[in-house]
Chains A and B, each alone.
Chain A
């Protein structure tokens, strides 16, 4: 139970590479904080600095109000779950889980009792005397969790703990992690590159890019009001659609059509903007009621390139005439968005757009369809800085 505060924490490696830049983060007692970002963004380094496995180059790290910069990991009273679990192969599950307590000099009866209790929580009772090598991936993951929770530490640090599990098990363990954390109410910092994990688990989510902390907010705020292009593009699946826009004479000109600036969230100054539109804010125009269409939005026609029906949702991919948007923040995301939206196969001057339509929609591949974009949900960004306007 404790509060973790990072003040201007910076990590510069020996080769001069700045992995974490002036990070300020305030993690409240019992809070579940997620550090998320693409690989190489410094999130793991930040976690390892909190654990004490990496030196802090400058800045201050406080746990429970005390500065712990120079304390070794063992004196910080934190538990860590590693990506590869790092179970001790020569010890049984019981010994693995009790190792920290044994080092702390706690007597055997108490260790046994605590281990049994943790094993019960994690459904590991039948496996206590087995060795890690004989356990399945999910069981190993639970032992790694168990090793952390028996200690009742001040904080849990988790470094991509679910990334080695298969998809189904990952979802299962995700709810498990959430349950354990809310039961124990222990401050938790959880590192992941998976935005779904970040959105579903965290009380608050901290998005990092290239060593810089971009935004810290609740999942809902992050989704509804991303502070810049990177956060907007990173959070959400399928990713937000981006297109260039221009505000002139009280109107926003988009490749989809024109919108009266009065409809825009927060209005807008004259000039070039980058417009973001989430897939679920585009709908089949035949499904949207006329009264809604009369109030706001753009109705436009597009040829559907591909339709993916998931039962509960229907993803329609189409392209628009657009030069695309240029931003280094978005380029970082390109690798992911390419595979997600299938941006390949486009001609020069075309941009792929994804829409998440109602499953009852009748749109077909290679047919033209009437679509409607909800302009009240547009996100406007400055094309220079990538920052959110409004």
Chain B
């Protein structure tokens, strides 16, 4: 019992340290976002006076005038569309890779891995030129396409690992039970792969939500600019004030959807991240 107590103390200290390390920047942002503009640089963690002015400033002027609202909608829509397309395509691809023997299977996997390794910065320049001549510069598709390129390999890898874990017999049982291959896939394989699908979906969503490189380079207005890029265009109340408070407020706000998502699907993700690793 004594040893248990000691273990618990040690673990608690270790966990606290990690939590502090991870959370201090977030607390700092929160603190900045709650200070009135003139106190932003006072160096205090706990604001002397609390003010929601920074938050209010984000929404001032409604949908058209606010520097934040339109990008927020863009972020949500672009991330959701990308996630849906990526997961649908990746589910079919991963299923084929896990189940079927076909020529070029290794090539697809190797290609996917190579693309995932590719540094996004190196294709931003060419894309900028191409998108302008194609006429999709500063549009939703202009961002969704490169996001798909980089999120598909990730989703394919996660899902392939999951589909491989599902016994093939189950699908054959479904076929003998009278299911078409499509029914077997949707009624038996998909529900069993649900943890993997949620894991992949959240990873893809976070990737799109966090991206800055493509968002800043391939957009020019709030029509399609996402939040991370829009932050860079925030202005202070006057030419001489830094927009620190509103940037901090916006950063806090965009973190919330991710936290909510992860909390909701926490258990599924945990089982998802381990399921591929350990052979049941």
Contact = CB atoms under 8 A, between A and B. Distances in A.
Interface of A: 51-53, 72-74, 78-80, 82, 84, 86-90, 99-100, 103-104, 147, 151, 157
Contact of B169 (A79, A84, A151, A157): A84
Nearest to A76: B176
A109 B12 CA distance: 56
A344 to B, nearest CB: 36
A190 B110 CA distance: 43
Given A53-B172, A84-B169, A88-B170, A100 B192 contact: no
Contact of A86 (B173, B178, B191): B173
Interface in B214-253: none
A311 to B, nearest CB: 40
B268 to A, nearest CB: 13
A74 to B, nearest CB: 4
B177 A99 contact: yes
11 contacts: A52-B175, A52-B176, A84-B167, A86-B170, A87-B173, A90-B191, A90-B192, A100-B177, A103-B177, A103-B179, A104-B178
A175 B180 CA distance: 34
Given A100-B178, A103-B177, A103-B183, A73 B191 contact: no
Contacts of A88: 170, 173-174, 188, 192
A89 B192 contact: yes
B175 A82 contact: no
B176 A78 contact: yes
Interface residues of B, number: 17
Contacts, number: 57
B163 to A, nearest CB: 15
Contacts of B172: 51, 53, 73, 80, 82, 86
Nearest to B171: A86
Contacts of B187: 99
A82 B192 contact: no
Most buried by A among B170, B176, B183, B192: B176
Interface string B16-34: 0000000000000000000
Contact of A80 (B176, B183, B192): B176
Contacts of B176: 51-53, 73-74, 78-80, 157
Given A74-B177, A99-B187, 4 more contacts: A74-B179, A82-B173, A88-B170, A88-B173
A163 to B, nearest CB: 14
A78 B194 CA distance: 29
Contacts of A72: 175, 180
A82 B175 CA distance: 13
A44 B175 CA distance: 17
Contacts of B179: 74, 103
Interface in B241-275: none
A151 B188 CA distance: 19
Nearest to B191: A90
B103 to A, nearest CB: 12
B175 A53 contact: yes
A100 to B, nearest CB: 4
Contacts of B173: 80, 82, 86-88, 147
Nearest to B194: A90
Interface in B114-161: none
Given A88-B188, A90-B192, A99-B174, A74 B180 contact: yes
A86 B175 contact: no
